[in-house]
Amino acid sequence: MKIIHILFLFTLLSSTISHASYIHDFCVGDIMHPETPTGYHCMPLENITSDDFVFHGFVAGNTNNSFNAALTSAFVTDFPGLNALGISAARLDIAEGGAIPVHTHPSATELLIMVQGEITAGFFTTSTVYSKTLKPGDLMVFPQGLLHFQVNSGKGKATAFLTFSSSNPGAQLIDLLLFSNNLPSELVAQTTFLDLAQVKKLKARFGGRG
């Protein structure tokens, strides 16, 4: 009987904690103030309008850059209505020959939905690479935190829409981390096993020094 009482109390407590997180139906982020570990503070209800739940401008970005690619984001900083909802989106445009280099989203799983063209994409585990060429109508998922990439492997522009399991997924691009800093080129060459000349070339491309 004592065990039953304990289980009942545990269930009641769990239910109370669960419902506590749904006191508000939504929490439009006040992005004028700093982000906290749990997201942005909520805007007062009297200041919220329908416009806070609509995002405009999901259009093609400028692909004239080092990657020949553009990401138009609808993250919480662009779309405060997403705050605390655990979801966000982006539009990916990759010019012919372009690519999104190997990167990771430490706090989000990514779902890619192909719209136009052809993209070869994949992700890495410690033992395997999972890669596939995608056409319009195809979807591919990239598990949270795993290194992955997208390359335009067809003719003409490729377009896809992305969704993330976080309102602010963040991103770490390996090329930028390695070659846009002021770490001495010799040290980068030693730790990546690249030729020194190639390291210097990549640092020049991505704005690094040293």
Residues 85 and 167 in one domain: yes
pLDDT of residue 132: 98
Specify whether 118 is located in the same domain as 60. Answer: yes
C-alpha dist (Å) from residue 25 to 8, 21, 82, 167, 204: 28, 10, 12, 16, 49
pLDDT for the residue 206: 84
Position 119: which residue type?
I
Q: Examine the domain organization and report whether 78 and 100 are in the same domain.
A: yes
CATH number at residue 80: 2.60.120.10
Give the N- to C-terminal CA distance of the chain in Å, as an integer.
Answer: 71
Per residue of the chain (210 residues), what is the pLDDT tens digit? 455 444 344 444 444 333 334 456 889 998 888 887 777 889 899 999 999 999 998 999 999 998 999 999 999 999 999 999 999 999 999 999 999 999 999 989 999 999 999 999 999 999 999 999 999 999 999 999 999 999 999 999 999 999 999 999 989 988 888 888 889 999 989 998 889 999 888 888 888 877
Q: Are residues 27 and 118 in the same domain?
A: no
76 with 129, same domain? Answer: yes
Q: What tokens were used for 170?
A: 């963040």
Q: 195 and 158 in one domain?
A: no
From CA 151, how far away is CA 158, in angstroms rounded? 9
**Chain-centre distance of CA 85, in angstroms?**
15
CB 163 within 8 A of CB 143: no
How far is CA 85 from each of CA 40, 106, 113, rounded to the nearest angstrom?
A: 11, 17, 20
| Residue where the block lists tokens 């401008």 | 57
Distances, alpha carbon 71 to alpha carbons 119, 137, 158, in Å: 15, 19, 12
d(CA 122, CA 165): 18
Pair (59, 120) in one structural domain: yes
Q: How many domains does the chain have?
A: 3
Q: Are residues 8 and 30 both part of a single domain?
A: yes
Domain span at residue 123 reads 54-171
pLDDT (0 to 100) of residue 48: 92
Could you tell me if 58 and 43 lie in one domain?
no
Single pTM value for the model: 0.81
191 and 123 inside one domain = no
* Residue 98 shares a structural domain with residue 37: no
**How many other C-beta atoms lie within 10 A of the C-beta of residue 205?**
12
Together in a domain, 40 and 67 = no
- The pLDDT assigned to 205 comes to 85
What tokens were used for 24? 């508000």
